[in-house]
Structure 1
Amino acid sequence: MVVNHLVWLILDSCRYDSFLAASTPNFDRLGQVELRYSYASWTAPSHLAFLMGLTPHRSPAGRFASEVYADEFAQWGRRLGVETRFEDFVPELSLPCKLRKLGYATLARVSLPVLNPRTLLSRYFDDYRLMERYDQFAAMVEELEFGSQPMFVLLNLGETHYPYLLEDAPRLAGLHGAARGAQAPGFFVAEEMERMRLAQIRAVERVDRLFAGLLAKAPAQTHFIVCADHGELFGEDGFFGHGPVMHPKVFEVPFLEGRCSDIV
């Protein structure tokens, strides 16, 4: 049985409709993007769900949550090329822990300080690093090398997070403006909201162009997951951003997956 490499790309804050509006010829090679829903409205808890082995869900009606979770854990067997079930994840309930037991090297590169290596999210990773800037997917691709040992690679991409690669955007300092003494700008006007919405779409397109290099590097037995951790608001109902917000657009995320060997 061939064990697959696993690469999980998380486009931070990327709205589902932003992904749809972008030109993504390289992501499209993996398969059809679908609408799914995040388990949380901001980065840290969403990534915790990911690292428990839970991808964004479909919000199925008429089913018990326990059934949905069991089905989700069973999907890892298909993705990895090994037999797996929910019981294999306990008691840790950790995807990187499970993969290390299977002989995987575990590597993570993250773009946002809220995911820094001193948080509990870094547990069970052999190599976990916060990038120097939020927009360094190109550097992640350049350094990544595959060997004979199966790899689990988690890449949190900040290009689609505020300020969406805009050099002159008003800055929300610190952890999304929460740092002591940080002074946020006045609330964004409609024109600024629209400018940032369009910038996020362009950021998706930049990430897609860089993804071509990762596809070229990845061995045939590499399974990719591409999704967002949550969405973003650009003025809808008076909101901007994500986090302490209860709005459908914050929970709508793109999801697609596929294996290199299946790409034509």
Structure 2
Amino acid sequence: MFVRFGKHFLFNFKTKIFLTRNELILMFISKRGDMAVFKKARTESVLFITLDSCRYDTFINAEIPHMRAVGPIWRAMAPGNFTYPSHAAIFMGFTPGDAQSKESFVNPMIGKIFKMRGGGFSGPGKHRFILEGENIIDGFKIRGYYCLGTGALAWFDAKQPTGKVLTRDFHDFYFPGNVWFLEKQLNWMSKKMKENDRPVFLFLNIGETHFPYYFQGAPWNKDINPCTPMAGEKTMPLNAGAARRRVWNMWTQVLNHYWNHLRKAIR
């Protein structure tokens, strides 16, 4: 499909929105080169977004017309049960999928968006990118891409030993300090993109959809966690939690607000 913003056609690949129990995956591939010469390394730029812990039912019930307009929505199973294993698998080419589907990319066992040579079973369908290297980031670097990433969860804090695994292969990576700093992430991305003239693999992990479900300017105390198992003594009364979840839906509108900012960053 073509996705149109004003006069600009930004993406000319079938944009996929994968909704899982653990996160939302948005995959955009933007044409920046000769699509006809398949023997050469493709030169499309790739924007990969994960909305951490954003559930399928939350997304479907949200008022997000701009995001819905991007492409079809697929209910999919994440390759891991929390942030680290999901992203570790994704970076090896095992994106979320629907095991019942016979469509490439929707079911990565049929055909992968990112296929690593020597890694995993090669299904009967088509692969979008066939990459060499240790993982997909390394694979895009080998192709001459500028690999840029930013993640909101602590698993992406490169200053910690546990945060190095998911971040070390990027040319530049930014950890904003907590899960509610999307604006900082976008500003950093915009600055880095202005300094670059190569095809880009751009990864963005968004944390506002992860507990404590707080975004900058939200009308509640971020220190009170509605996620009962993680809250300890700071848990919320049931009625307060329900009220907060209703107000939390405001975040989807905030995310829509950022959408124009995001698309400008990847031009």
Query: What is the TM-score with the length of structure 1 in the denominator?
Result: 0.65
CA drift of 1:189 comes to 4.2
CA drift of 1:201 comes to 2.8
Instruction: Name stretches of at least 5 consecutive residues in structure 1 with no aligned partner.
Output: 77-81, 178-182, 220-264
CA drift of 1:200 comes to 4.2
CA distance in structure 1 between the partners assigned to 2:203 and 2:87 by the alignment: 10
Change (3 A) 1:83 1:191: closer
- Report the more deviating stretch, 138-147 or 202-211: 138-147
Residue equivalent to 2:266: 218
CA drift of 1:160 comes to 0.9
Q: Choose from 149, 159, 182 the match for 1:108.
A: 149
User: 1:158 is aligned with what amino acid?
Assistant: G
Q: Choose from 201, 204, 207 the match for 1:158.
A: 207
CA drift of 1:89 comes to 4.2
CA distance in structure 2 between the partners assigned to 1:42 and 1:74 by the alignment: 21
CA distance in structure 2 between the partners assigned to 1:112 and 1:89 by the alignment: 28
Provide the aligned C-alpha RMSD in A.
3.0
CA drift of 1:192 comes to 3.8
Residue equivalent to 1:180: none
Q: Secondary structure at the match of 2:111?
A: helix
Q: Which has the higher helix share?
A: 1
Residue equivalent to 2:97: 57
Residue equivalent to 2:172: 127
Deviations 1:170-229 (A, max 9, x none): 546xxx95xxxxx8226544324423433443223212210221113432xxxxxxxxxx
Give the 4+ runs in structure 1 shifted more than 6 A. none
Residue equivalent to 1:22: 62
Change (3 A) 1:216 1:29: farther
CA drift of 1:62 comes to 9.1
Deviations 1:156-179 (A, max 9, x none): 11111112125315546xxx95xx
1:8 aligns with 2:54: no
CA drift of 1:8 comes to 1.1
Residue equivalent to 1:233: none
CA distance in structure 2 between the partners assigned to 1:137 and 1:187 by the alignment: 25
Residue equivalent to 1:194: 242
Quick check: 1:111–1:135 contact (8 Å CA) kept in 2? Answer: yes
Q: Secondary structure at the match of 2:221?
A: coil
CA drift of 1:75 comes to 7.5
Residue equivalent to 1:141: 186
CA distance in structure 1 between the partners assigned to 2:176 and 2:112 by the alignment: 30
Deviations 1:47-79 (A, max 9, x none): 11121122211122799xxx9436114689xxx
Q: Choose from 65, 76, 95 the match for 1:36.
A: 76
CA drift of 1:25 comes to 2.4
Give aligned pairs, total. Answer: 199
Instruction: Name stretches of at least 5 consecutive residues in structure 2 with no aligned partner.
Output: 1-33, 36-42, 117-126
CA distance in structure 2 between the partners assigned to 1:209 and 1:60 by the alignment: 35
**Percent of residue pairs bearing the same amino acid type:** 21
1:168 aligns with 2:209: no
